[in-house]
Amino acid sequence: PQVDATCTEDGLTQGTYCSTCGEWLVPQETIPALGHAYGDWSTTPATCTQDGERTRVCSRCEAVDREVLYASGHDYVDGYCSVCGERKPTEGLNYYSFGTTCIVSSYSGSDENVYIPATYEGIPVMGVRSNAFLNNTTIKSIEFDPTCEKFWYISDYAFYGCSNLTSITIPAVTEIGESAFEMCTGLTSVTFPSDGSLKTIGKDAFRNCFLLTTLVIPDSVTSIGAGAFFGLGSLTSLTMPFVGAKANVASDEAKYPLGYIFGINKYTGATKVMQSYRREDGNWISAEYYIPTSLTTIILTNCTTIGNYAFTGCTMLTTVTIPAEVTVIYDRAFYDCSGLTDIYFLGTRAQWEDVEKYGSWDQYTGSYTVHCSDDQ
């Protein structure tokens, strides 16, 4: 019988043969393979970091012909890729790979201004390892690629002792580890992520960053470790979503005052303040905290209550801003805030009057004025 040729295999003509003896009367002839009838190429372009491909499909057998278009690599001109616009990563950054993600593990370069990219060899950068920049006295600034979508954490001691680091904009991390920026004594500016990603600031995270004058902690933060801001003797203004260690503290949990985030040890520029707090066992005890003498302004942004003893003894405070959502101010919250001159309540006067205020919440407090949103 006739065998049709395909794209890749020869066929045979019909031919004829004797049905009695089987002798071929007209021998079969080979029909050459047809070869593929490919259509037009469909192309997925290569990028600087990822291979592309082009494909075409045979209209007869649907075989697919593929050709790899290899990644071109970056063409950096004046620090930026002329093809994709990506900024050139700082030389000397070392990475540890987990296969599908990686972290910055160390730095052996000499650049003063360090740029950390969103990806390394095509895989996302997800964090900075513990001790990665430990005691590096060369770097002055750290910048993270703003597209770092998978950046999760800055580990413990990651930038400890980077004494010449002056500014940092922290990417969309969920956690800043213990002592991550401790002893960054030249740090004058910290910008936290505003996208709602940051949840935890670890113990001693910014310890002895004594040149910082202003801090704005985002509403997304739900936990701040003990002494996270110890040694900030130049701090004048602090914006924060809650007072103490955690947001939305239940009635049976430990409660801490403002001093908790500044610590119990002396440092230059601090005032000793006796404050009380509720332990895990339910008992209230007093402790000596050291709060920056220069801290005159507190702006609360995301709380519904102000706890017992929250600002007790903070004689340095002159101005406090309270969100309209606050409905309760507990006992001795502003006790002995003798320097307080202005409370800015972001709700109406009627809302302020409806706020439940316990006992001696403002006893021995200065001659302050309450300003409300509907005041003329």
Condensed to tens digits (0 to 9), the pLDDT of residues 202-254 reads 999 999 999 999 999 999 999 999 999 999 999 999 999 999 999 877 655 56
Decide if 118 is inside a domain: yes
Among 176, 195, 212, residue at a domain's last position: 212
Q: Are strands 369-371 and 342-345 parallel, antiparallel or unpaired?
A: parallel
109, 21: one domain: no
User: What is the distance between the alpha carbons of residues 34 and 145, in angstroms, rounded to a whole number?
Assistant: 54
Looking at residue 89, its pLDDT comes to 85
Decide if 71 is inside a domain: no
Decide if 133 is inside a domain: yes
Looking at residue 250, its pLDDT comes to 63
196, 96: one domain: yes
Looking at residue 376, its pLDDT comes to 77
Q: Which phi and psi (to 5°) does residue 251 adopt?
A: -65, -25
Looking at residue 181, its pLDDT comes to 98
Q: How far is CA 375 from the centre of its chain?
A: 39
Decide if 230 is inside a domain: no
Give the pTM.
0.81
Among 212, 233, 259, residue at a domain's last position: 212
Per DSSP, the residues of 98-121 read: -SS-EEEEEE----SEEEE-SEET
Look at the chain and report how many structural domains it folds into. 2
Q: Are strands 328-329 and 356-357 parallel, antiparallel or unpaired?
A: parallel
Looking at residue 253, its pLDDT comes to 58
pLDDT under 50: residue ranges of the chain: none
Give the domain range for residue 5: 1-34
Q: Are strands 119-120 and 123-128 parallel, antiparallel or unpaired?
A: antiparallel
